[in-house]
A and B are shown apart, each in its own frame.
Chain A
Amino acid sequence: QKEVEQNSGPLSVPEGAIASLNCTYSDRGSQSFFWYRQYSGKSPELIMFIYSNGDKEDGRFTAQLNKASQYVSLLIRDSQPSDSATYLCAVRGDNQGGKLIFGQGTELSVKP
């Protein structure tokens, strides 16, 4: 089992819809969770991070964390074509010596 798993997609949603991206992780000691967005041919850029169970909202983005079930999700409301990118989930925990472990990414396509 991979330490951090994401559905590689592509996930296709119509413009204006809610896009839901999911990530599961294996290390129960994981402490912090990050979502990076990566446009094709570009570097990853941080869009959200979350440490505590529950929801964290930032504009159109909501990160959700459930440590008991070991999953973290990213919701994008009112999806725009400019949101089309690969979304990388990254997890930091004690078992990795504090290092970030990345999932393989989910490709999102928002259709006009």
Chain B
Amino acid sequence: NAGVTQTPKFQVLKTGQSMTLQCAQDMNHNSMYWYRQDPGMGLRLIYYSASEGTTDKGEVPNGYNVSRLNKREFSLRLESAAPSQTSVYFCASSEEVFLTGEPQHFGDGTRLSIL
């Protein structure tokens, strides 16, 4: 019962490098999300996708791009990594983004360090 799968689990980058974080869900959910979590900051929404083919900015979108490849997959790309993007990144999914009460299911996270 995989749920939400994120790859990679750990990554170290140099400033200026690019990379893509992958996320896939097998729960047939319509909505998917990318968060970052920093110490003392809680979870902050980077981008979300309410449904296949749509993406929208969250609270902290600068420096990131996303692609909703299909219903299952939602990727997050850092074009030119900066040390301020060192964080733990979580992908989540839910049935519908606007449905009151719908909980989100989280992946295990990607721990990203940028030197």
Contact = CB atoms under 8 A, between A and B. Distances in A.
A and B from one complex? yes
A8 B105 CA distance: 23
Contacts of A43: 90, 106-109
A44 interface: yes
Interface residues of A, number: 24
A4 B44 CA distance: 12
B100 A44 contact: no
Interface string B75-109: 00000000000000010000001111101111111
A45 interface: yes
Contacts, number: 51
The prevalent SS among residues of A at the interface is: strand
A43 B40 CA distance: 16
A100 B58 CA distance: 10
A62 interface: no
Given A43-B90, A43-B109, A44-B90, A100 B104 contact: yes
